[in-house]
A and B are shown apart, each in its own frame.
Chain A
Amino acid sequence: MSDESGYPKTSGRDGAPERDVPPSTPSWVKAFGIAAIVLVLLILILIFVGGGKHGPGRHMGAGTSSRLAAPAAYLLPDKPL
């Protein structure tokens, strides 16, 4: 999404005065980067703690078939009576 004009101003908008060295990375970008790294690590830890189960598999009970076309898989008890 852009603002009404859709165009940045040619100067002053980015706080980058005319100079020969590129501007340093803004602090908010660094904060975003750190947050992204923390989030990725958190997700990896959660997946690791969850035994690597991710996707439809984690919603299936142990010992059941994933094939929904066979309703009997849901009707039969997991252990023989």
Chain B
Amino acid sequence: MRPGLRNLALTVHIACSVGWIGAVAAYLVLDLTVATTSNAQTLRASYLGMGLIAESVIRPLAFAALLTGIVQSLGTKWGLFRHYWVLISLLITVFAVTVLQLELSTIRYLAEAAANPGTLDGRLRALGNTLVHSAGGMVVLLVVTFLNVYKPRGLTRYGWRKQQEARRRKLEQRGVLQR
């Protein structure tokens, strides 16, 4: 990738990733409200908000972060499978997006129950929360952020092979030039 294009791709990737964390933080606040309140109106509003945030903000940002991350890895010398921190970040992100996709049916169910005027307050209070998933999701995203900022050392076998090949090529080129 050319430097200009690389910076643009990096900007989009950071915006999507940070936006994803921010959206999960907003969702987490509503989820905590659901877990702690017994006020039916607050519960109804929180479930509706959770549905909107998950469907309209978290899902698109999660997919965009995954996609831009893959583009960013493949478009630079980091590669997708060469460094452990990139590979683990990819695996964790794929896992997070999969769990999110599965959890969306639950969130949709809760939002529909809250939107239904026929849902009694008692039934609404018994619906519960999705704190395990939202708090777990936040932890997972922070772990990925940590990996991406600190970039802990470690080449995979594939990365090491590629590095050896590059060194060999460089030495061969030098040898040709010296002759």
Contacts and interface: CB of A to CB of B under 8 A. Distances in A.
Listed residue (B69, B117, B128, B155) with the most chain A CB atoms within 10 angstroms of its CB: B155
How extensive is the interface on chain B, given as a class? 35 or more
B106 A56 contact: yes
B128 A71 contact: no
Contacts of B118: 71-72, 74-75
Contacts of A71: 116-119
Contact of B119 (A2, A66, A74): A74
B72 A68 contact: no
A17 B93 CA distance: 30
How extensive is the interface on chain A, given as a class? 20 to 34
A6 interface: yes
A14 B155 contact: yes
Contacts of B116: 68, 71, 74
A22 to B, nearest CB: 5
Given A32-B88, A56-B105, A71-B119, A26 B149 contact: no
25 contacts: A1-B14, A1-B72, A2-B10, A2-B78, A6-B10, A6-B78, A8-B83, A13-B153, A14-B153, A16-B160, A18-B167, A25-B84, A26-B152, A26-B154, A29-B154, A55-B102, A55-B106, A59-B110, A59-B127, A59-B128, A61-B123, A71-B118, A72-B118, A74-B116, A74-B118
